[in-house]
């Protein structure tokens, strides 16, 4: 593998997607599971970085890059919807990408960490996309959580004796799960929303991978409709239509009453 590219370099080199690139990544990612799809989207914004290096990004750093990709492709403002679990009403919210950025603690030794919990000393690494792909077929939530911990715990000791992940008490496992999020907080962004209908307070996890994919899929369909209308009216090729700026495409669409 080539030398790992620093997170700061990734952020600096990441670029937004053109119409052609957006359609290509939409086609490639359409049938992929969420973890692989997130990497496919990120690869489109970082074509010069080998995909196996992107797989090694912690989930928080991957999501930070996806947030930057979203900002460079669609802008800093986003609008979303959330269903209220109490009354079933639809909540609409508007946020800036800056509202969703979480400052991570300074990294010591890359993605590896060490923590003492009760009488146990745990050496672990932050979770990455490979871990999510590895548990894709596990349907039971508890089993999936245990499988993730087994992958990320590099060494567990009680005093000087090595112990397996299966031997760790539930309280230790719970504290390790919390520690993973504290070390990589961008991996789980929680929104605090208020339902205007029933006044309930709602905590909702914001998944930038799913959100960005929904936007890309909607924009891809919008672009293809534009191509269809302009090709039908003028006989132009798809590549020529997509090469037009959004402003010029819109002008021609208005000329044909679209």
Q: What is the pLDDT of residues 100-145, one digit of tens each?
A: 999 876 554 468 899 999 899 999 999 999 999 999 999 998 899 8
Nearest-10 Cα torsion for 100, 173, 125, 56? -60
For tokens 């020529």, name the residue: 240
pLDDT, average across residues 72-99:
92
- Say which residues have a Cβ less than 8 Å from residue 197's Cβ, sequence separation at least 6: 84, 87, 89
Percent of the chain residues topping a pLDDT of 90:
79
pLDDT, average across residues 155-159:
93
Query: How far, in whole angstroms, is CA 249 from its chain's centroid?
Result: 30
Q: What is the pLDDT of residue 110?
A: 60
Look at residue 25 and tell me whether its pLDDT is greater than 50. Answer: yes
Phi, psi (deg, nearest 5) at residue 151? -80, -35
Instruction: Assign 3-class secondary structure to the chain.
Output: CCCCCCHHHHHHHCCCCCHHHHHHHHHHHCCCCHHHHHHHHHHHHCCCCCHHHHHCCEHHHHHHHHHHHHHHHHCCEEEEEEECCCCCCEEEEEEEHHHHCCCCCCCCCCCEEEEEECCEEEEEECCEHHHHHHCCCCCCHHHHHHHHHHHHEEEEEECCEECCHHHCCHHHHHHHHHHHHHHCHHHCEEEEEECCCCCCEEEEEECHHHHHHHHHHHHHHHHHHHHHHHHHHHCCCHHHHHHCCHHHHHHHHHHCCC
Q: What is the pLDDT of residue 7?
A: 87
Please, is 35 exposed, middle or buried when counting C-beta atoms within 10 Å of its C-beta (0-12, 13-18, 19+)? Answer: buried
Question: Which of 121, 211, 114 lies closest to 168 in space, CA to CA?
Answer: 121
CA atoms within 13 A on the CB side of 126: 26
Condensed to tens digits (0 to 9), the pLDDT of residues 199-236 reads: 889 899 999 999 999 999 999 999 999 999 999 999 99
| Residue 67 pLDDT class (50, 70, 90 cuts) | very high
Look at residue 172 and tell me whether its pLDDT is greater than 70. Answer: yes
CB 220 within 8 A of CB 23: yes
Q: Cβ–Cβ contacts within 10 Å for residue 38, how many? A: 27
* Most confident by average pLDDT, 80-84, 103-107, 143-147, 184-188: 184-188
Question: Which of 152, 212, 215, 160 lies closest to 184 in space, CA to CA?
Answer: 152
Distances, alpha carbon 152 to alpha carbons 34, 58, 123, 221, 232, in Å: 20, 11, 9, 39, 54
């Amino acid at each position: 593998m080539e030398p790992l590219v620093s997170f700061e370099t990734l952020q600096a080199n990441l670029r937004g997607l053109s119409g052609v690139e957006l359609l290509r990544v939409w086609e490639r990612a359409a049938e992929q599971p969420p973890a692989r799809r997130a990497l496919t989207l990120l690869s489109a914004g970082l074509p010069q970085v080998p995909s196996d290096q992107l797989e090694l990004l912690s989930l928080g750093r991957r999501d930070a890059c996806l947030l930057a990709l979203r900002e460079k492709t669609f802008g800093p403002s986003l609008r979303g919807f959330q269903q209220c679990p109490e009354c079933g009403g639809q909540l609409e919210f508007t946020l800036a990408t800056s509202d969703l950025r979480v400052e991570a603690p300074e990294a010591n030794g890359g993605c590896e960490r060490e923590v003492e919990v009760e009488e146990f000393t745990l050496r672990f690494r932050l979770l990455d996309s490979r871990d999510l792909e590895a548990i894709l077929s596990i349907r039971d939530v508890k089993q999936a959580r245990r499988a993730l911990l087994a992958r990320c715990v590099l060494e567990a000791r009680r005093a000087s004796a090595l112990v397996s992940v299966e031997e760790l008490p539930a309280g230790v496992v719970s504290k390790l799960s919390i520690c993973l999020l504290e070390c990589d907080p961008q991996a789980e962004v929680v929104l605090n929303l208020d339902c205007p209908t029933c006044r309930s307070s709602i905590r909702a996890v914001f998944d930038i991978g799913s959100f960005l994919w929904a936007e890309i899929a909607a924009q891809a369909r919008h672009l293809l409709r534009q191509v269809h209308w302009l090709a039908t009216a003028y006989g132009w090729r798809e590549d020529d239509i997509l090469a037009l700026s959004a402003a010029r495409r819109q002008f021609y669409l208005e000329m044909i009453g679209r």
